[in-house]
Amino acid sequence: MKKLVLILSFLVLFFAVSCDNSTNAGNGDIDVNDEETVDDVVVDEAVDEVDEEVQDEDVTEEFNPENPGYAVDFFFMDMAMMGQPNAMIIGTVMKAAREDLDEEEVVDTALDTCVFGESIPSVPECESDADCAPEQKCVPDYDNDSGEPVENTEHCATPDRETLDVGPIVISGFAAGPQTFLFEPNDAVYKLNGEGDGSVDPALMTYDIDYSLSADNPTPEDFDPFTGTYKMPVALTLTSHETVAGQMGDAIVLDTNGPVKFEWTGNGGNGYVEINITAAATVNQQVSISCKVIDDGEFEIPAEITSQLVFGTGQFAAMMNMLIMTRHAEGPMSGESITSGTISAEQMIMMNITPPQ
């Protein structure tokens, strides 16, 4: 949940237009409410059942709300949007809560496969406070635009949690050497030097290198020193398609009359990249596909899938015809007082798509 909030903060700061109609904005994916299935298209059924094991009971029983420890999360967003580099780093420190130990439900998609659409039905975790631990409440998610509760998203959460200022946190791995992150009280998150909107100069970012985080003397007194490390992969760059001038900035030409091959700077086959494409023929005719592929630098989407993508023209199409490629990397936080936490990065390429002229 905290990660979604951080991504959403980035999108609010940098997106001139919203390319995500989902109520779970900030996950890096596009959701265009494509509810139709393509019966005559052979698509590898790559979506396994959602893991319904909520959490390990032993871990839950070990959680002590009277002495919860701390949750620390730092998130790097490194994005090229319409050819323009942007970077943002935001961190949070909180008293840990029981829900921090829950494993997020994920769609386990087989690698090197594509599916139509991306959303899965929401299943409520609870019906009332009685279904939660004593210190938790049963609450829904809320729509980012209307502020209204989202149906079937009820879950157990600890109320009145606040982000904390625990003193300076230093992260090394940047081109200019170690950088100090301080608590910024207006947004109540950690930012570079405790200033600005969380954005950082993209020139600071380095790749194919370990980033290390440390807090040697955090406060309060019950908070022991902690560290975190993760490996930032090589810079994610699309190499298979030249860019052209589009209505919203740089765009790529995508010919869907046959298979479409994507090539990028791969991570040696380690991990995976998500390729999400939205095609809007008209306002009411939109299709999205999502491919989860081995991060080896190339993947071809077969013609039976690309043939379903029809890219319209005009201002609306310029907004909605979109390619988003995403790579994720993370490492754990460690320390005597740490109950949960990660230092992680999302590398993203976001480009408009235009059909051949």
Q: Report cis status (omega within 30 of 0) of the bond before 185.
A: no
Q: Which residue has the tokens 């002229």?
A: 357
Residue 147 resides in a domain? yes
- Calculate mean pLDDT across residues 17-43: 36
Is the model's pLDDT at 22 over the cut of 50?
A: no
Of the candidates 275, 246, 235, the residue with the CA atom closest to the CA atom of residue 82 = 246
Residue 338 resides in a domain? yes
Is the model's pLDDT at 25 over the cut of 50?
A: no
Annotate 26-46 with b (16+ C-beta within 10 A) or e (fewer).
bbbbbbbebeeeeeeeebeeb
Residue 249 resides in a domain? no
- Residue ranges making up the domain that contains 154: 2-20+54-108+122-235+329-346
Q: How confident is the model at residue 318 (pLDDT cuts 50, 70, 90)?
A: confident
What pLDDT, on the 0 to 100 scale, is given for residue 249? 72
- Which DSSP letter does residue 41 get? S
Residue 179 resides in a domain? yes
Residue 297 resides in a domain? no
Residue 241 resides in a domain? no
- Calculate mean pLDDT across residues 53-71: 69
What pLDDT, on the 0 to 100 scale, is given for residue 34? 40
Joined together, the tokens standing for residue 16 give 């001139």
- Calculate mean pLDDT across residues 273-285: 90
Q: How confident is the model at residue 319 (pLDDT cuts 50, 70, 90)?
A: confident
Is the model's pLDDT at 248 over the cut of 80?
A: no
Residue 334 resides in a domain? yes
Predicted TM-score (pTM) of this structure: 0.80
Strands 338-354 and 70-81: parallel
What pLDDT, on the 0 to 100 scale, is given for residue 3? 43
pLDDT in tens, 96-133: 999 999 876 555 568 999 999 755 567 899 999 999 99
What pLDDT, on the 0 to 100 scale, is given for residue 270? 94
Residue 287 resides in a domain? no
C-alpha pair distances (Å), 101 with each of 91, 140, 173, 305: 18, 19, 28, 38
pLDDT in tens, 326-345: 999 999 999 999 999 999 99
Our measurement of the distance from residue 278's CA atom to the centroid of its chain's CA atoms, rounded to an integer in Å, reads 17
What are phi and psi for residue 289, nearest 5 degrees? -130, 150
Number of independent structural domains in the chain = 1
Joined together, the tokens standing for residue 91 give 């961190």
- pLDDT cut 90: percent of the chain above it: 67
